[in-house]
Structure 1
């Protein structure tokens, strides 16, 4: 079993970052789970609906805004595919 250090590191990093909401935390935790299930390959190739299911988010707009925020704030690197049948790339920045 992998260590939860990436999640602990994320919580330490966001401790004083007022821009981060519970939605951001849920998506980041879902991305870590997705990363772990997919053999810790970085970048992970994700479909939004799969991450949304793990994060318990139902609105696509909320997901995309939060992922773009995490990218802009420097917690992940997000490369959208813009195609329904092609996964986006997410680099987890540890």
Structure 2
């Protein structure tokens, strides 16, 4: 995916879409920022409070209304978790600069209803408790609970510790559990790609074999 062509097409669409206001555009760019940080996967996890902070949206109803509207307008697909311990998911639509619009295929046709969080104060309190792991062992326990290798847990902990548990060097991570879930998702995608590459290599390896014995002492 060429993100420059994508952004050119998106801003052209913004310009022609009279339904949008500045809040919609701000929300989309916040999501694009996280999509970019995660290297443009087909699906990634988000935390509502981080997105609201980055997009400068101050109220839950406005956030959910914009999410619902931009999902119905096919800018992205929002899959809320309704769980303070697990981030919601986003599937971004892909655009190009031609007249033909290209979108990612959504893997499920079931729609989840977006509803405001009634117990928002309680959820924020729970998320604050999750903001950062106390130590590496806490991360390893979480990865083991999710049936993931401890090696991946160590990689996750070392990576985010090295960047001060901040995204882009500026935004503090609010919910490290959702970041760990996203890490696992990316690791699974990388594993699938590696497995596919190994199959292709094994399939083509026989073509590289030769039974002819060459005399490299002969002149060319």
Q: TM-score, normalised by structure 1?
A: 0.88
Report the Cα distance in structure 2 between the residues aligned to 1:6 and 1:49, rounded to whole angstroms. Answer: 26
Q: Hey, what does 2:64 align to over in structure 1?
A: 64
Deviation (angstroms), 1:69: 0.6
Gaps of at least 5 residues in structure 2 are: 95-220
SS at structure 2 position matched to 1:90:
strand
Deviation (angstroms), 1:58: 1.7
Report the Cα distance in structure 1 between the residues aligned to 2:44 and 2:93, rounded to whole angstroms. Answer: 12
Report the Cα distance in structure 2 between the residues aligned to 1:92 and 1:7, rounded to whole angstroms. Answer: 12
SS at structure 1 position matched to 2:89:
strand
Report the Cα distance in structure 2 between the residues aligned to 1:13 and 1:62, rounded to whole angstroms. Answer: 22
Q: Please list, as runs of the form range in 1=range in 2, the aligned pairs for 1:45-56 lying within 5 A after superposition.
A: 45-56=45-56
CA contact 1:35–1:42 (8 Å) conserved in 2:
no
Gaps of at least 5 residues in structure 1 are: none
Greater RCO between the two (CA within 8 Å, min separation 6)? 1
Deviation (angstroms), 1:7: 2.4
Could you say which structure has the larger radius of gyration? Answer: 2
Q: TM-score, normalised by structure 2?
A: 0.40
Deviation (angstroms), 1:14: 2.3
Deviation (angstroms), 1:51: 0.8
SS at structure 2 position matched to 1:15:
helix
Provide runs of 4+ in structure 1 moved above 6 Å.
Answer: none
Deviation (angstroms), 1:40: 2.1
Count of aligned residue pairs for this structure pair: 93
Q: Hey, what does 1:18 align to over in structure 2?
A: 18
Judging by fraction of residues, say which structure has more strand. 1
Q: Hey, what does 1:40 align to over in structure 2?
A: 40
RMSD over aligned Cα, in angstroms? 1.5
